[in-house]
Structure 1
Amino acid sequence: MTPNRRTFLRALGAGSIGTVATFSGTAAAATTVTVEGAGEDIWDAADGFHYYYEEVSGDFDVVVHNTALENTDSWAKAGLMVRQTLNADAENAMVRRRPNGEASLQWRSAAGADTVSTTSDGGSGESEVSGGSITADWLRLTRSGDTISAYGSTDGSNWTLIADIAPGEIDFAEDAYVGLAVTSHSAGTLSTAEFESLSGLSPSSNDDVGDVDVAGSVSTSDGGGGSGDGGSDDGGSSFDVDAGFADASWFDDSVTVHRVQEATESAVRAAFEANGPRLVVFEASGVVDLGGGDLSITNDKCWVAGQTAPSPGITFINGMIQVDANDCVVQHLRIFRGEDGGAAEGADPMNNADDTSNVIFDHCSAYWGRDENLSVGYNTTDTTFANCLVAEGLDEPEENSNGSLVGNGAQNVAILGTVYAANNDRNPRLKDDTQSVIANSIVYYFDKAIWASPGAQSSVVGNAYLGRFDWSDAIVKGDGSVYIEDNIVADPGLNGRTFCSATQLGSRPLWPSGLTAMPATDVESHNLAYAGARPADRISHEQRVIDNIRNRSLDTDVSDPANAPGIPGDEGEVGGYPDHGGSTRSLSVPDSGLRDWVAQWALAVEESGASPP
């Protein structure tokens, strides 16, 4: 299915195997970037704002048209920033625009120092314009050597120099963060800024910096209104539950609704094991301890809507969730197996059983398995993993940290928009005579990625392989056959090494009808925004892994891949089982339009600012 629930700014650049998007990208003029930011200010010795950025090395020349800035305060600010780190007190320079249309330059000369500007005491002497500011809606920020220059314009062609900041006044390292910054100058209140015609920059990450009280966001839209690379603008992930080979055509308004009213194993089990077509909704949130056992869906036609649980959602620990039935959808659940969650062999946190068909796992977080984390059973048909966060397979016993196994004979497996992080191996493992599509997924901090056994066929399209720490094998290896298109390898890059040692095919051996892969250069920003159980409502273990990827926090200089320091041996090494609290509430479930109702609940936990039905 064509991505249709998310808009994004395409980061232009090379997308072929072994290359990454380069800094010289330019966003299309018709693209509108909307940034919402809160925070007290970008000023004094520490900042609070939202930042849409990329890391840049050396010189740059960035231009943007600031078409709108919400007047939450007369000192709300939007503009272009270069920043040494993402710490609140970091050295930075910003060509800023206020709601009254005035543009000027401000800077902090060192970490923790007070900020000055061309309109303030201590900085006005650097100004090249009377009063330190000009009326401008086009902003330009450049670096040439060690000099930072800020410009403004009313037409994007004729530029006025506002100020040059020379070495001695401010000194940046070779590498720095450059991007769009927005502050509301009012903690707890978001200010919305719109930008167009961004050039010289291809941002792929966004974060709140400092204290903001309310999370900011970034969204983009294509001024042409077409779907194209950008899709539509109704938010959420690019991959719906029907994006792969599996579908939920069986689900309609005649299903029975089962309400889980307490966060206990027995309450959930009763709904999972019920008979007949059913929708499982949650009127309680919390952590459910499975006591080392399995919790299985045992009868066909079950849709588990974890998104309906109150914040922070429903989390299972110390056991496994298994779909041992056909025609099932599992959405928006977390499962953390752990060291005590059963014997290592087959000790997955989540999977579907052998010989099942038409099973979808969407927006699930699966951690701390002792075999794999999220796997496909043997001789299954039509299985989809979409928007999942598959992380930290435990490295005890040694080298047993694995992402996913696709069992012998599994047909029509689709792994879409999924994040594999800190799993040593099997990202995924494609066993004998399997058929799969692996598209628009991320693998981060790993020794081995795809291993295709004899008879396996796979389409490997638009994926990002980041932070590999060993080069004993190719990214894609084995005796199977694969089609390779538009994959990137970064941090480190291939550096002349082989991407694929398996047999390469000239065309896709299989592909879901209607699916359009996004460019590999868009995958990191998209997946970090939308992978996992509740992307707009993450718990600390999820956010920690996402931050590790975004900031490349784990050291890839690993002397022994079997003992990589970023892969835990047990849950205690990374803070132990989640222990978040929970709450209860009543749900008003409609008699008709259930599919749309479930989708609206999904969007409410996927997209910051979206509301439930």
Structure 2
Amino acid sequence: MLIRTLALSALALAASLSAAEPVAVPATAGIATRGWTQTQGGRGGRVIKVTTLAPSGPGSLKEAIEASGPRIVVFEVGGVIDMGGQPLKITQPFLTLAGQTAPDPGIHIIKAETTIATHDVVIQHLSFRPGEFGRPKKGGGDQDGISGIAGAHDVIVDHCSFSWATDENLSASGPRFDGKTPEDWRRATSHRMTYSHNLIYEGLGNSVHAKGEHSKGSLIHDNTSGVLLYGNVYASNRQRNALFKGGAQGAMVNNVIFNPGDRGVHYNLLANEWAGQPWQVGRLTLVGNAMRHGPSTVAGTAFFTMLGQGDLELHMTDNLAHDAHGRPVPLLGNNAQTTGKLIVLPQADLPPGLAIRPASDLARALPPLVGARPWARDPLDAKLLADMAEGKGRLIDSEVENALGYPRHAPTKRAFKAEDWNLDDMSPKAGWPNL
């Protein structure tokens, strides 16, 4: 049995979790989904122009990130920002990074981890590709694409592309037990985070991570809350598509998972990591998601698996899971070591007004909308989506195993014209191209 203390069989539980009808409302392309977040980012602040692709110094992205006060960061350059292993740290609140303003080919940040340790941040239309860049296997220095840390809250990461992280591609984390009460813990770690319409793929497996194999999509860490994963595509990540850890509270809505290795979505409270702390009940809503096996997927891999010891309140509606030949695979997986109780959450715990597509529409409708620049695809994103459509893909250990490798775009320049943009939400007045 998946959960020894649960009276229902896995089959009966799956039926009970899937009984409700989804809300069939189309998502809006090109506009950031707010979820539980309450942020305006840098709205109303000064406009800062990025005028160089240099990793630091005057006119750089790093300088703009480190500035204080409300600010909207726009780009008068396009191309690759090679950080050479140095991190990008967002510690000043009220920030909008508007990658949509860059001239083609957009902004591609390589060889860096980006962390968010503040509040009221909106990041849109950027590509993040850390990679191992020649470092020794298991040598340490692992990097996320983006991770919320240290009490990050009211953050939106929308329409971005992530690949080749050596830890997770896109995560919400932080100190799990800061403070005296569980309410303190939740305030101290990431909360009210929305990750929407992102392309999240090819987390590196046997690379620099000290633990060895570490091809991961998203980690939603212990005691995070208000985390919404909405309309993303996860492809060719071995695990954590996504992983919600002990006491986490969040939702996955309208995501596509393709070619996972041996786990799709899972929940896990690890007792050894909670020594001396009272276990918290997690809460997870899974609505309108679709998983399809690929060439690297272990046969029988289920859509959702519960691991560890803690209890979980779970609502599941209108989720689909198929193998590479289109045959159904289990929605719920089995794990003999799991001792926590799975509690059916009768109603979805979702932000009010969230638009939800039927899971059966996702394979057609979602891929054209996701990633950093749907109107002008980077070759890496274009290849990934084309391969996914054909059922191709594999888990990789280094960026050099992708035939295209790191992006190599010639620098471009274009003056930013404020009159061409709605500065309230950084949408183009002429409309989103091809969306």
**TM superposition score normalised by structure 2:** 0.78
C-alpha contact 2:24 2:356 (8 A) present in aligned 1: no
**Could you say if the C-alpha distance between residues 276 and 600 of structure 1 is closer, same or farther in structure 2, counting changes exceeding 3 Å?**
same
Q: Within 2, Cα distance between the matches of 1:478 and 1:408?
A: 14
- Deviation of residue 475 (structure 1)? 2.2
- Deviation of residue 510 (structure 1)? 2.1
Cα deviations across residues 88-132 of structure 1 (Å, max 9, x unaligned)?
xxxxxxxxxxxxxxxxxxxxxxxxxxxxxxxxxxxxxxxxxxxxx
Q: Within 2, Cα distance between the matches of 1:405 and 1:261?
A: 33
Q: What pairs with 1:553-568 in structure 2 (closer than 5 Å)? A: 553-554=392-393, 566-568=394-396
Residue 431 of structure 1 is matched in structure 2 by 245
Higher relative contact order (CA 8 A, sep 6+): 2
| Identity over aligned pairs, percent | 29
Q: Within 2, Cα distance between the matches of 1:303 and 1:492?
A: 43
- Deviation of residue 321 (structure 1)? 1.7
Query: 151, 154, 158: which one pairs with 1:358?
Result: 154
**Could you say if the C-alpha distance between residues 602 and 313 of structure 1 is closer, same or farther in structure 2, counting changes exceeding 3 Å?**
farther
Residue 219 of structure 2 is matched in structure 1 by 405
Query: 483, 486, 492: which one pairs with 2:315?
Result: 483
SS across alignment from 2:119: coil
AA matched with 2:389: R
Residue 37 of structure 2 is matched in structure 1 by 246
C-alpha contact 2:118 2:150 (8 A) present in aligned 1: no
AA matched with 2:332: F
Q: Within 2, Cα distance between the matches of 1:602 and 1:448?
A: 42
C-alpha contact 1:292 1:341 (8 A) present in aligned 2: no
Residue 105 of structure 2 is matched in structure 1 by 312
C-alpha contact 2:42 2:121 (8 A) present in aligned 1: no
Residues 1:457 and 2:248 aligned together = no
Residues 1:394 and 2:191 aligned together = no
**Could you say if the C-alpha distance between residues 341 and 486 of structure 1 is closer, same or farther in structure 2, counting changes exceeding 3 Å?**
farther
AA matched with 1:481: E
**Could you say if the C-alpha distance between residues 278 and 230 of structure 1 is closer, same or farther in structure 2, counting changes exceeding 3 Å?**
same
Residues 1:381 and 2:191 aligned together = yes
AA matched with 1:569: D
Residues 1:600 and 2:428 aligned together = yes
Q: Within 1, Cα distance between the matches of 2:293 and 2:372?
A: 24
Residue 144 of structure 2 is matched in structure 1 by 348
Residue 283 of structure 1 is matched in structure 2 by 76
More strand by share: 1
**Could you say if the C-alpha distance between residues 363 and 432 of structure 1 is closer, same or farther in structure 2, counting changes exceeding 3 Å?**
same
Q: Within 1, Cα distance between the matches of 2:127 and 2:41?
A: 25
Number of residue pairs matched? 365
C-alpha contact 2:69 2:92 (8 A) present in aligned 1: yes
- Deviation of residue 499 (structure 1)? 2.7
Q: What's the Cα RMSD here?
A: 2.5
AA matched with 2:360: T
Q: Within 2, Cα distance between the matches of 1:280 and 1:416?
A: 24
**Could you say if the C-alpha distance between residues 271 and 536 of structure 1 is closer, same or farther in structure 2, counting changes exceeding 3 Å?**
same
**Could you say if the C-alpha distance between residues 488 and 603 of structure 1 is closer, same or farther in structure 2, counting changes exceeding 3 Å?**
farther
Q: Within 2, Cα distance between the matches of 1:364 and 1:427?
A: 16
Query: 557, 566, 587: which one pairs with 2:416?
Result: 587
C-alpha contact 1:418 1:442 (8 A) present in aligned 2: yes
Show structure 1 runs of 5+ residues with no match: 1-15, 18-227, 555-565
- Deviation of residue 371 (structure 1)? 1.3
- Deviation of residue 349 (structure 1)? 1.7
**Could you say if the C-alpha distance between residues 375 and 230 of structure 1 is closer, same or farther in structure 2, counting changes exceeding 3 Å?**
closer
C-alpha contact 2:421 2:428 (8 A) present in aligned 1: no
AA matched with 1:580: H
Residues 1:265 and 2:80 aligned together = no
- Deviation of residue 236 (structure 1)? 2.4
Q: Within 1, Cα distance between the matches of 2:101 and 2:134?
A: 26
C-alpha contact 1:304 1:329 (8 A) present in aligned 2: yes
Residue 295 of structure 1 is matched in structure 2 by 88
Name which of structure 1's ranges 504-513 and 453-462 shifts more when overlaid on structure 2: 504-513
Q: Within 2, Cα distance between the matches of 1:590 and 1:543?
A: 31
Cα deviations across residues 431-457 of structure 1 (Å, max 9, x unaligned)?
111001100001100121112124321
Residues 1:550 and 2:341 aligned together = no
AA matched with 1:380: S
- Deviation of residue 474 (structure 1)? 3.2
Q: Within 1, Cα distance between the matches of 2:152 and 2:238?
A: 28
Q: Within 2, Cα distance between the matches of 1:356 and 1:505?
A: 30
Cα deviations across residues 43-65 of structure 1 (Å, max 9, x unaligned)?
xxxxxxxxxxxxxxxxxxxxxxx
C-alpha contact 1:457 1:509 (8 A) present in aligned 2: no
Q: Within 2, Cα distance between the matches of 1:316 and 1:549?
A: 24
Residue 370 of structure 1 is matched in structure 2 by 166
Query: 365, 372, 376: which one pairs with 1:533?
Result: 372
**Could you say if the C-alpha distance between residues 601 and 258 of structure 1 is closer, same or farther in structure 2, counting changes exceeding 3 Å?**
farther
Residues 1:417 and 2:231 aligned together = yes
Residue 557 of structure 1 is matched in structure 2 by none
- Deviation of residue 542 (structure 1)? 0.5
**Could you say if the C-alpha distance between residues 407 and 231 of structure 1 is closer, same or farther in structure 2, counting changes exceeding 3 Å?**
closer
- Deviation of residue 571 (structure 1)? 0.7
Name which of structure 1's ranges 395-404 and 275-284 shifts more when overlaid on structure 2: 395-404
AA matched with 1:462: G
Name which of structure 1's ranges 334-343 and 285-294 shifts more when overlaid on structure 2: 334-343
Residue 522 of structure 1 is matched in structure 2 by 361
- Deviation of residue 252 (structure 1)? 3.6
Q: Within 2, Cα distance between the matches of 1:301 and 1:325?
A: 9
Q: Within 2, Cα distance between the matches of 1:602 and 1:320?
A: 33
- Deviation of residue 248 (structure 1)? 2.7
**TM superposition score normalised by structure 1:** 0.56
- Deviation of residue 399 (structure 1)? 3.0
